[in-house]
Structure 1
C-alpha cells in the first residue's frame, strides 16, 4: 500500500525548499513516522555517496539524515552535475549515465519519467510518509512541457503542494499570484496553500497581504517561517556562496581560513563545520593577497579540474599558491584541489574537459590521469604522515567522488591509507604531502572532530593563540531539532496534518 505524500515547491530557486523539507522530515520523525525525502531531479555539484556507493544530491542525504533513515538512490533518482554552460553529467540511480547537452537530455526525459515513478513508488511502499521537493519554479513556461520534477511529480502522485516564497527577496505576494496564474487548472488544484519563508519582523504587518492571497487565489496561508540564523546545515549548491564572506577577518584573534572560490567548485559543504567554530573565520576568496595572508589555504574539489587549473593560471592565482608553498605555509588540497597541486593533469580521452594535458602547480609530488570509471565510495582512512597537529595512525571517515587516478613520483609517501570502501575491507593509498602541503582525494574529513580540531589548535599555536572553540560546536542533530521546532511553531501543522490524513481516506 502506498503511503501519503506531501510536496514542497517554490516560486523560485533558493527560496528554502530544501531546508523546509529537512525540517519536516525531522518533525515527522519525532512523531514516530518513518519518513523519506524525494527529489526527482537535482542539479547540484554538492553530492553525497550512499553506503552502497551511489551518488545523490547532498540535500537529499541531509534530509534522510534528519529523518533518521539511510539515504538511497531512489530518494534522488536523477542528479545533474553541470560541466559548463551547455553540458551536464547525468547520474541515474546513483551511477554516471553520460555527459550531454540540455537538448539531448530533454530527449531522454520520457525514459526518465518511468525511473522517477518507480523510485517514488518504492519509497511509498516502505515508509509512512514521503516528503517531495520540487526544483526552481513550477511556472517556468519554457520548461513546463518537459517537466519531470515539479507538477509532473505532483500529478503522478496526486501530491498536495505547499508553495513556498522567500519574502527576504521582496515581491513574495506577486510571486505567489503570478505562479498560480501560470499554472494549469489541474495543477492549481494541487496547491494546498502558501508558506512565506525567511521573514524578519512583526508578522501582524503581513495580515493584509495574507488576506489578499486567500481572496485572490482561494488558498490559505499555511505559515510564516522566520529567518533562522546561523543554521549549520549543508547548502544544496554554489548559489549559496554569494552569501558567504569573500574576505579575511581583520581580527588578530581569529584563525583565518581561505578557500579558493573555483569557478566549478564542488562539495564545498564539507567545510561548513569550520564556519561554525568560535574563533574561526572562513572566506571564499579569489584574490592573491588573501591566499598569501590566510592561516590555512584550502583548494576545494572541482567538477572540472583542468579547466579550473587553467583559470588559476589566467588569474595569476597560481603564482600566489606557489609562493605560499615556497614559504611553507599550510595548504590542504581536497580531491580536485589535490590534483591541482600536483605536477600534471592528463585527460587524453576528454572525459572531464577538452584540455588533454595541463601542467599542475608543481607543489606536490604526484600527477593525475583522468579515467572513465568514476569512483564513488564511503571510506575509512588512516593517517600515514603526522602533520598539522595530526598524529600518524589516526582513523577517519570520509567519501570519494572522483575520476582521476593519482600517480606519486619518486617513492613519495601517501598521506592516507584507505582500509575500507563501502563497508568492505581494502588496502590502497591516497594523496601525498610535502613540507606544509597536504593533498587528498578524500572528502568530508573536516566533519570529523578529531581531524578538524587538532588542525585548528595547530593553526592557533602558529599565530600565538590558544584555540578554545571546541565547546561551541553544534551537532547536526541539534540543528535538525531547532529547525523542526521552528516549523512546528510557525506552520499551521493542524492544517498540514489534515492534508496528509485526507490521503489515507481517499
Structure 2
C-alpha cells in the first residue's frame, strides 16, 4: 500500500527541501521505492528530464537522494519569474503561457487537477511519496487557492510534518503561530514538528519543547517534536535565489580563480557546483565591475532574460571590462544565455524575453542568436570533435552529457564542436560557449580544461580525477546519517501509517 508524508515549513528557507531529500534517502536506504513531489515550485533553476520535460532542480536533488531518475511528474507546475508579478508557467514540463498572480490564482481549480493527476503517478508506482510544501501553510489569504501546502495535503489526504528554523530566532512562536492560524481541519493534519538548524546545547532547549507540547496538548492537539536537527555544513544544491552563495563573495584565491557574473535573471547557477568542489579552484560570484580583473576565467551564466541582463552589464560597466580582459588573455566562458551574449547580436523579434528587438553582444564569437517561440528542452550526449583551441586541448573525442533549455537558436561562422546544424558548443582562442547545462559535471572534460589553464599559468597539471556524482552520493548519505541521529525515524514511520 502506498504511503505518504508532507514536509511543510513555517516559512521560506527553513530547510524543507533538505529535510525532504534526507527522508527520501533514508526510506530508499530502508528498501522502499520513494519519490519526491512538489506540486508547484517557483525557481529559475530548472532541469530537463529524459523525456525533454522541464522541472525544478530541488526535486532533481530529492530524486537523486531517493536513488530515482528525476521526472517532471515530481514537479508538475513550475513558475519561472519574468518580473515581480509575472511568470512563465511550465505545466507538466511544457511551457504554457506567461501569467500574473491574479490570472494564475483564477486557474486554481484546473491546477489542482493537474497536481492530483501527477501525484497519482507516484501513488501507482512508488511505495512512499515525500511531498514538499512551499513557504508557509498559514498564508491564510491564499488558502482557498492553495495547491502546494494544506491544499495539496487535502487533495491526497496526506499527514504533515511542520519544520521550523531556530537559527533565525523565535522558532516556538513561528511553529505555534502557524498551527494556530490554520483552521481546525488543516491543523489536525499536522502530526509532528521538526526544529531545524540548531546550534548549541539541546538540553537548554528541552524545557521549551515540553512547554510547547503541553500547550498544544491542552488545546487537544497531539503534536510532538520529532527531533532537533543541528546545523550541518552540507554540499547539497540549494534552492534558487535564496542560496547564500549568490549573496556572498569570499574573494578566495587558489591556483585557478573563476568569477561568475551574477545577473538579475541568472538561472541554473548549479552549472558551477561541480567546479566549486575542485581543490585548485576558487569560485566567486561577481556583482560589481570593481571585483573583476584578478581572475583566470570569467563565466557568463544562463539567464531567464538574456537581453535584459546583457543591457544591465552594459549599464554597470561589466560588459566593457570583460571585453578588455578578454583582449588581454583572460578566458571567457558562456553557458546558455551567456553563450548567446558572446556572439555579435541577439534578436528578439517576437519579444519573447524583452522589449528590445535586438542588441549587440560581446562579439567574441562570430555568431548571431534569434529568440524563437519554440523552447528547446533536451537531454544531450555529444562527442566533441574538430577542436583546435589550446583552451580545450586533449578534449577531442570526449563525450559530454547535460541538457539544453533555451529559447534562442544560434548560428554563425564558428566551428561547432558537436557537428550539429545549430551551434551548441564552440571554442575559439581563449573563449568557449555552449548551450549544454551541466557541462562541468563531466569530470574528464573539466579536469582537462582546468589543466590547460594550469599549464598556461606555468603550473603542473593535476591528474587526480573528481567524480561529482560520487561526491553527491556521499553528501546524501551524510545527510541521512545526520537525520537518523537527530530525528525519531520510528515516529515518522508511524506517521506514514
TM-score, scaled to structure 1: 0.93
Counterpart position of 1:495: 491
Aligned to 2:400, the other structure's residue is in SS state strand
Counterpart position of 2:37: 38
Q: Deviations over 1:444-490 (max 9, x none)?
A: 01111112212222223333434659467662111111111111111
CA contact (8 A) 2:447 2:465 kept: no
Q: Does 1:460 align with 2:454?
A: yes
Aligned to 1:417, the other structure's residue is in SS state coil
CA contact (8 A) 1:415 1:439 kept: no
User: For residues 314 and 246 of structure 2, what CA distance do their matches in structure 1 show?
Assistant: 26
Q: Does 1:448 align with 2:442?
A: yes
Higher mean C-alpha displacement, 324-333 vs 368-377: 324-333
- Residues 254/178 of structure 1: CA separation in 2 closer, same or farther (3 Å cut): farther
CA contact (8 A) 2:443 2:466 kept: no
Q: Deviations over 1:6-27 (max 9, x none)?
A: 0000111111111111111111
CA contact (8 A) 1:366 1:432 kept: no
User: For residues 350 and 291 of structure 2, what CA distance do their matches in structure 1 show?
Assistant: 36
Counterpart position of 2:220: none
User: For residues 71 and 99 of structure 1, what CA distance do their matches in structure 2 show?
Assistant: 25
| Structure 1 segment 24-35 matched on structure 2, within 5 A | 24-35=23-34
Counterpart position of 2:415: 413
Give unmatched runs, 5+ long, in structure 2. 218-222
Higher mean C-alpha displacement, 288-297 vs 121-130: 288-297
Q: How many residues align?
A: 487
Counterpart position of 1:479: 475
In the TM superposition, residue 165 of structure 1 has moved relative to its aligned partner by: 1.1
Compute the RMSD of aligned alpha carbons.
1.7
In the TM superposition, residue 215 of structure 1 has moved relative to its aligned partner by: 1.5
Of 400, 406, 412 in structure 1, the residue corresponding to residue 404 of structure 2 is 400
- Residues 415/320 of structure 1: CA separation in 2 closer, same or farther (3 Å cut): farther
Counterpart position of 1:225: 229
CA contact (8 A) 1:377 1:400 kept: yes
Q: Deviations over 1:333-370 (max 9, x none)?
A: 00000111111111111112222111112121111100
In the TM superposition, residue 389 of structure 1 has moved relative to its aligned partner by: 4.2
Counterpart position of 2:309: 308
Counterpart position of 1:143: 142
Q: Deviations over 1:368-393 (max 9, x none)?
A: 10001101000011223244344222
Counterpart position of 1:424: none
Of 226, 233, 240 in structure 2, the residue corresponding to residue 237 of structure 1 is 240
- Residues 482/297 of structure 1: CA separation in 2 closer, same or farther (3 Å cut): same
Counterpart position of 2:194: 195
User: For residues 82 and 134 of structure 2, what CA distance do their matches in structure 1 show?
Assistant: 19
Q: Deviations over 1:185-213 (max 9, x none)?
A: 11110111111111122211211221122
Counterpart position of 1:98: 97
User: For residues 183 and 465 of structure 1, what CA distance do their matches in structure 2 show?
Assistant: 61
Aligned to 2:411, the other structure's residue is in SS state strand
Aligned to 1:353, the other structure's residue is in SS state coil
Q: Deviations over 1:18-72 (max 9, x none)?
A: 1111111111001110101100000011111000111000111111111122222
- Residues 243/354 of structure 1: CA separation in 2 closer, same or farther (3 Å cut): closer
User: For residues 407 and 429 of structure 1, what CA distance do their matches in structure 2 show?
Assistant: 6
User: For residues 446 and 169 of structure 2, what CA distance do their matches in structure 1 show?
Assistant: 39
Aligned to 1:233, the other structure's residue is in SS state coil
Aligned to 1:292, the other structure's residue is in SS state coil
Q: Does 1:357 align with 2:361?
A: no
Counterpart position of 1:504: none
User: For residues 234 and 206 of structure 1, what CA distance do their matches in structure 2 show?
Assistant: 29
CA contact (8 A) 1:415 1:438 kept: no
